[in-house]
Structure 1
């Protein structure tokens, strides 16, 4: 890395070639003003002014680069987009108002009526609802398949299949997809391969290296890391992202400059946070396996996990989310959750604070009982997003749950 002189107002991309994700998380994408501020600047403005009517016309026509209106051009948002694109190893990123807005933007810009999508069952419940209910109204049909059954993916391919969509690891059962195999199937089928990388982030996993065409995030989760605001981002080739950007410019599911600034600050600590999440989650998973009343622990870091070896090849860590089932059904799961005192009862994940939720009645509560059953979301399933508090303090709070569960 060649160190940049302070009079330069931005870091040339060539100066960051070959540096680690840890460095990109801190240095990539920063846009300095002529004031040469050391921290990232925030531009809380709706519009930008021009020197003349001719310049305004040139900006709007695209003949001259520059900012126009913060619905689709804002320096703080662009800095966040550049940083996460560099970290993922993609050509371009487009930031959105939420993770669901990111998925919607992908679908509305790259699919059309008559297209077919194959989606893994192990996705966030609202992702399922978006595909199954709302996109279906516009003539886009979705087939849901097992994330890990390649034969089922192959059997579901049609002549009009245009997209394959997955989360890996999955939410909330931590199943892991063979991305190389799915990418090859997508290429052979003429479909785009889209990976939600929310659980791992580019610190632990870079799906482009395994053949993904598009990577997306709910930035609300680990990219922020402190539960402060909503956002999403889509990363891919410049050609594909130009289509996504065109939809965003017209439809307006836009990330605010303030939220983009928060995410820039979050990315600076993402590598060290992810390692702490992984360390706590792995130890907690082993501990939970030993507790009376726990039927099964779902975490790819456990050696008896069906995709443990695959996860070890694709990921540099196993992530901070795990799930487990308890004996006694929903009543036991609710009693366990309610007995905790420090851990936050909330459906969000990726926070420095440990969170706990009952997926069957929260994140996946809008699914039909049949779809929950197919996805493996049982009434006795509890999901933990393991934070970076003292591991012993997390254990002690979970002991309260076990005490209530066994009483």
Structure 2
């Protein structure tokens, strides 16, 4: 069984269609570091890639491989590989695809760790980095037309939920022979499938929605086989390997991915709509709102708007502290995409690595609260926000 008509069925079955050892219906965790062969010829064939199998868990592992196959099928890619964290997926992909003297075009509004790669690490490698205004698609196209090796996009962006037109910009990138990489962490393959819009590689922090329970870290990359094979080779040598137990936990979380995303979508929209009408809220950033500047693009390329939103308060950071400290149904903590609501300011979460000036340059006000709506009852979340805002 390899074809799935629905994402919900794929989330449960993809990569796990067969019974496992002793007839088990749940995937075992293979903690073995290495795998032995009595037949030397078979060992050589597996080692050289002429036959399927596993040699050493830094490279491949029978618990990890089904996870890679699941995301491959759900995203519609040719191949997939895994990593120890989301940032490992992003960094390994960029370091694989870029070499000294080459050029990458990216948007300014990327996750803080990704942004650090663009402003600190890639320049050390003599890679020419061009960061464009995320909402100025004409400017991005002009920079791409000058030539680049990679176009890197993130949509929706973290933490201001800007939307990038993947299809339009992918066409511009392919016209100059560039590879298009899209961070799809916020949307997941349930809400958005960038490969169908022209992306060549999609990267994920599997720590977030894919796992969904804030109890394990991991990263994934899926896309064109020739590119993923290169990225896999870089990862197997540099060693940012996903642990088998982490793969098992992510696989277990993904079985309920579509169910969770439906509630995240519902709560995200309800909370964003309510906040947009509150007198103490200055601005709400959520692509599902008709007031969002790229709402039409979001509707075109997304099937749901997600549980992530952010909002800025009138009165500055002191108000942020008051609201956060009075929320009851929200963990004041980093990360996102969990079953429980997570909140925090970018200065201590998504963009803690950046200075205040760097955050300002990225269009992130200090009065901003990033809000990852969980799967709690929506009425409870709104009541909780109401009482916290009343104390600001």
Give, in whole Å, the separation in 2 of the partners of 1:264 and 1:145: 36
Aligned-pair CA distance for 1:160 = 4.9
List aligned pairs for 1:1-400, cutoff 5 A: 12-13=1-2, 17-30=3-16, 32-157=19-144, 160-400=147-387
Aligned-pair CA distance for 1:304 = 1.0
Give, in whole Å, the separation in 1 of the partners of 2:89 and 2:299: 28
| Aligned 8 A contact 2:335 2:349 in 1 | no
TM-score normalised to structure 2 length: 0.96
Q: What's the secondary structure of 2:180's corresponding residue?
A: strand
Q: What's the secondary structure of 1:337's corresponding residue?
A: helix
Aligned-pair CA distance for 1:361 = 3.7
Give, in whole Å, the separation in 1 of the partners of 2:27 and 2:200: 30
Shift of the 52–18 alpha-carbon distance from structure 1 to 2, 3 Å rule, reads closer
| Aligned 8 A contact 1:360 1:381 in 2 | no
| Aligned 8 A contact 2:144 2:151 in 1 | no
Q: What's the secondary structure of 2:116's corresponding residue?
A: helix
Aligned-pair CA distance for 1:179 = 0.9
Give, in whole Å, the separation in 1 of the partners of 2:191 and 2:205: 16
Q: Bigger CA drift: 92-101 or 51-60?
A: 51-60
Give, in whole Å, the separation in 2 of the partners of 1:364 and 1:73: 33
Give, in whole Å, the separation in 2 of the partners of 1:173 and 1:203: 21
| 1:304-353 Cα shifts (integer Å, max 9, x gaps) | 11111111111111100001110111111122111212310012100010
Shift of the 306–159 alpha-carbon distance from structure 1 to 2, 3 Å rule, reads closer
Aligned-pair CA distance for 1:45 = 1.3
| Aligned 8 A contact 2:58 2:236 in 1 | yes
| Aligned 8 A contact 1:114 1:160 in 2 | no
Q: What's the secondary structure of 1:75's corresponding residue?
A: coil
TM-score normalised to structure 1 length: 0.93
Give, in whole Å, the separation in 1 of the partners of 2:278 and 2:145: 46
Q: What's the secondary structure of 1:360's corresponding residue?
A: coil
Give, in whole Å, the separation in 2 of the partners of 1:50 and 1:33: 20
- Give the total of aligned pairs: 391
| 1:343-387 Cα shifts (integer Å, max 9, x gaps) | 100121000100101013432132233332232100111110000
Give, in whole Å, the separation in 1 of the partners of 2:151 and 2:358: 19
| Aligned 8 A contact 2:110 2:157 in 1 | yes
| Aligned 8 A contact 2:30 2:63 in 1 | yes
Report what 1:4 is aligned to. none
Q: What's the secondary structure of 1:117's corresponding residue?
A: strand
Give, in whole Å, the separation in 1 of the partners of 2:77 and 2:115: 26
| Aligned 8 A contact 1:132 1:141 in 2 | no
Give, in whole Å, the separation in 2 of the partners of 1:400 and 1:322: 19
Aligned-pair CA distance for 1:145 = 1.0
Q: Which runs of 5+ in 1 are unaligned?
A: 1-11
| Aligned 8 A contact 2:4 2:10 in 1 | no
What RMSD, in angstroms, separates the aligned Cα atoms of the two structures? 1.4
